[in-house]
Amino acid sequence: MTRALFLGTDVSTTGAKALLIDEAGGVVASATTPLPLSTPRPLWSEQDPRDWWDGIVASIRRALADAGATGDEVKAVGMTGQMHGLTLLDAKGGVLRPAILWNDQRTSAQCDEIHTKVGLERFIQITGNKALTGFTAPKILWVREHEPEVYARAAQVLLPKDYIRYRLTGEYGTDKAGAAGTVLFDLKARDWSPEVLAALEIPAAWLPETREGPEVTSVISQAAAELTGLKAGTPVVGGGGDQAAGAVGVGAVIPGIVSLVLGTSGVVFASTSEPFIEPEGRLHAFCHSVPNTWHLMGVMLSAAGSLQWFRDTLAPNLSFDELTARAAVIPAGAEGLLFLPYLTGERTPYPDPVARAGFVGLTLRHGKDAMARAVLEGVAFGLRDSMELMKQSGLGQITQVRVAGGGAKSALWRQILADVMDSELVTVNTTEGAAYGAAVLAGVGAGTWANVPEACAAVVKVVDRVTPQPTQVATYEMLYPLYRGLYPALKPTFDGTAA
């Protein structure tokens, strides 16, 4: 009997990934091809979309070979990838310039221009967000201002994963979760915003049709089938941006279940049944990959990256396990030592590129072990900032926090997070991230599961639980307001040193 497999593709900043799962949600094969990154000027970040395509083709072929599978067995394809990147094509589908990526910082002036043309409060109410340098809209305005000859030839704007969709199917399309991350989207209407497009003078014809995450957008073309080994006519579903697809991958698809990703950066992601918008734009509000569902998201720029910095700079001879084992001996609160984790500026709750990190409360008693403990606690406090904003936005009760990412491997850090947030923290069996979520969306699109929550209930299982410890909860409740007071007190210092 022929197997039914579902393919998830993921174009991240570092690699092009292809993941195959079966009808039980088991991972059958996974292959990743590294991707080059270009930084032609300080603060710029670019990639050639044709490298994405070559990488995805290689990864799909390798995943099929490793699974011993044929294209006939792949029943649907789901797509995910880095959000916000600007891919500009001409009228014939040719790439006009390297893609400008999510972590490119060249567009501060264009963000100000957007807020002026639309009005800051109005822009937040339409899109759910402030215009930040990472988003797609200001990148379009930058090209118009600085590369008018490129802009004059533009005919199509695509996100990174949707360039792969175009190459796989020959058709333009995108999903509503990824499209919301362009900030050209009407969050409540779940479609492109005529008002924003008109104010910014961006042609609506440049933007593809939007579909829900598990909805079929197109099918594999004969040309792509010959290159990849997939079968021509295989359905391709909408998919989602990496954060939304990653939330599907860990089952954060219904209100009350929050996803916390403790990677180099930290992300707090909460599903909502209606579009909640934080009035000052301190949280991101986007559409989810789950139909008629939205999400709130807080992003912390230096989460596990803070511990990486501390180890590399002050304890290079210690492994992370040794470092956290020594930190575990230090009592909660690190004897009054606080760490502000803004090593690369911050995004939530303070969208401030000149925010800086610091230890506050150092005494002669504090050694590296206490400092390591303070780093773990400071990151937890920073992630709690996003959770508090979500509660203030009307999120409702949080019943469970599902944690993933490299930092989540530390039992001590998981306990600190549970205590700081006073919430049960769990890990789950699925560890393949956004590509897994994309494959699950493909399975829903193919009819294996009736909907996304049903699919996640079937394949995502809790494997470990951490419950808050009351005495440590009390300690952190006392310290958290002190942590919250650090940024306002130090903001003038940050501005002064940056100048």
Question: Does domain 5-243 bear CATH number 3.40.50.720?
Answer: no
Question: What's residue 237's pLDDT?
Answer: 98
CA 215 to chain centre: 21
Question: What's residue 318's pLDDT?
Answer: 95
Give mean pLDDT, residues 106-113: 95
Question: What's residue 399's pLDDT?
Answer: 84
Annotated active-site residue in 175, 242, 369, 385: 242
Cross-strand bridge partners of residue 272? 294
Distance CA 298, CA 321 (A): 28
Distance from first CA to last CA of the chain, Å, rounded?
A: 68
pLDDT-derived band of residue 1, with 50, 70 and 90 as boundaries?
A: low
| pLDDT at 360 > cutoff 80 | yes
Cross-strand bridge partners of residue 402? 259, 426
| pLDDT at 138 > cutoff 90 | yes
Give the list of residues 6+ apart from residue 337 with CB closer than 8 angstroms, or none. Answer: 359, 360, 361, 362, 363, 366, 370, 371, 373, 374
Give mean pLDDT, residues 368-387: 97
Distances (CA, A) of 7 to 116, 316, 435, 442: 43, 40, 8, 7
The whole model's pTM is what?
0.93
Question: What's residue 2's pLDDT?
Answer: 77
Cross-strand bridge partners of residue 165? none
Tell me the fold of 252-429+469-499: Nucleotidyltransferase; domain 5 (3.30.420)
| pLDDT at 252 > cutoff 80 | yes
| pLDDT at 151 > cutoff 90 | yes
pLDDT, the chain, mean = 95
Could you read off the pLDDT of 296-329 as tens digits, one per residue? 999 998 999 999 999 999 999 999 999 999 999 9
Please work out, in degrees rounded to the nearest 5, the angle formed at the alpha carbon of residue 335 by the alpha carbons of 329 and 341: 90
Distance CA 455, CA 445 (A): 11
Active-site annotation holds for 242: yes
The segment(s) of the chain belonging to CATH 3.30.420.40 are: 5-243, 252-429+469-499
Distance CA 146, CA 117 (A): 19
Could you read off the pLDDT of 442-496 as tens digits, one per residue? 999 999 999 999 999 999 999 999 999 999 999 999 999 999 999 999 999 999 9
Could you read off the pLDDT of 391-404 as tens digits, one per residue? 888 777 888 899 99
HEC per residue, the chain: CCCCEEEEEEECCCEEEEEEEECCCCEEEEEEEECCCECCCCCCCEECHHHHHHHHHHHHHHHHHHHCCCHHHEEEEEEEECCCCEEEECCCCCECCCEECCCCCCCHHHHHHHHHHHCHHHHHHHHCCCCCCCCHHHHHHHHHHHCHHHHHHCCEEECHHHHHHHHHHCCCCEEHHHHHCCCCEECCCCEECHHHHHHHCCCHHHCCCEECCCCEEEECCHHHHHHHCCCCCCEEECCEEHHHHHHHHHCCCCCCEEEEEECCCEEEEEEECCCCCCCCCCCEEEECCCCCCEEEEEEECCCHHHHHHHHHHHCCCCCHHHHHHHHHCCCCCHHHCEEECCECEECCCCCECCCCCEEECCCCCCCHHHHHHHHHHHHHHHHHHHHHHHHHCCCCCCCEEEEECHHHHCHHHHHHHHHHHCCCEEEECCCCCHHHHHHHHHHHHCCCCCCHHHHHHHHCCEEEEECCCHHHHHHHHHHHHHHHCHHHHHHHHHHHHHC
Cross-strand bridge partners of residue 143? none
Give mean pLDDT, residues 85-92: 98
Question: What's residue 297's pLDDT?
Answer: 95
Could you read off the pLDDT of 254-312 as tens digits, one per residue? 998 999 999 889 999 999 999 989 888 899 999 999 999 999 999 998 999 999 999 99
Token digits of residue 353: 């590129």
| pLDDT at 147 > cutoff 90 | yes
